[in-house]
Structure 1
Amino acid sequence: MNGSTKLRLITGPEVAWNNFMFEGRNVLVEQNGQLTIEQADKDLRKSKLVAAQLNIPLMLNVSFRSGVSLSLGAYAGMRLDSYTKVKPVGGPAVRDHGSYNLNSVRWGLTTELGFRGSSKLFFRYEPNSAFRAGQGPDASVWAVGLKL
């Protein structure tokens, strides 16, 4: 029925990237199975850890007559790749690929808000640390963005 409120279950694979940005001269270093943050000997334009993962979300979606769409649910994903990228001032960027003690499998809660099938605003929260226990920072991940 056209124009009525609709309730649907939405799922499907997606690829997501998390960029963990470091300030100043801070760089992430992996030594003896432990992650530490150290100071670089040069000024940096950029220093970050990037994690790409394949997610499978499962969301309950309500589409209203007005065209507004709201989705709530959860997702689980597995790490595809991770690397650090350090770009010194006046020099080329250097990428180093590795696991960086990131959990291979991550999960979280998600919500999306859209209008008439256009891009959607999303919010995600992972209550557990992205890093293996005792091998990296104890940091929950949250993200806000635009889904195209």
Structure 2
Amino acid sequence: MSEFLSPFSRPLPAALFIVVALVLDQVIKLAVELYLPLHEIVPLTPMLALYRTHNLGVAFSMLADAHGWFIVGLRIAIVAFVLWLWRRTGPGHHIAHLGFAMIIAGALGNIIDRFVYGHVVDYVLFYTQTWSFAVFNLADSLITIGAGLIFIDEILAHRASKA
């Protein structure tokens, strides 16, 4: 990997990114809770709609039957683990550090929802006439994209080590 330091390998830029992402996530969720009707599709494009629902589980409603404090504890453990990985990852892993910041922001956003609303606010729906994807939110997107970036960084680091 490059000797150039990733801005997200340093605590301040990573923390600023996380705070901005958290504020954006929470502002959107507040607007959704205030203005979007519950369980009513609001089409945006032929395959994309707003659809407010309440998720009691984790990503894509997994573990929806689990106790709320177990879910909060699981998310806190994930944040702690990602912080540990972030600290152990070399400063040249630009993509991974951004991914870690995205995962932390997303996980914290959904933890905040649990305390503020008692559930996670989901509102984005991809669908067709015969199929629909799980309803999700910005925090879920940050977690998913962040994990993808870490995966890409690992592939690139592996290829670079073989070159």
TM superposition score normalised by structure 2 = 0.26
TM-score by length of 1: 0.27
Larger Rg: 1
Greater percentage in helix: 2
- Higher strand proportion (structure 1 or 2): 1
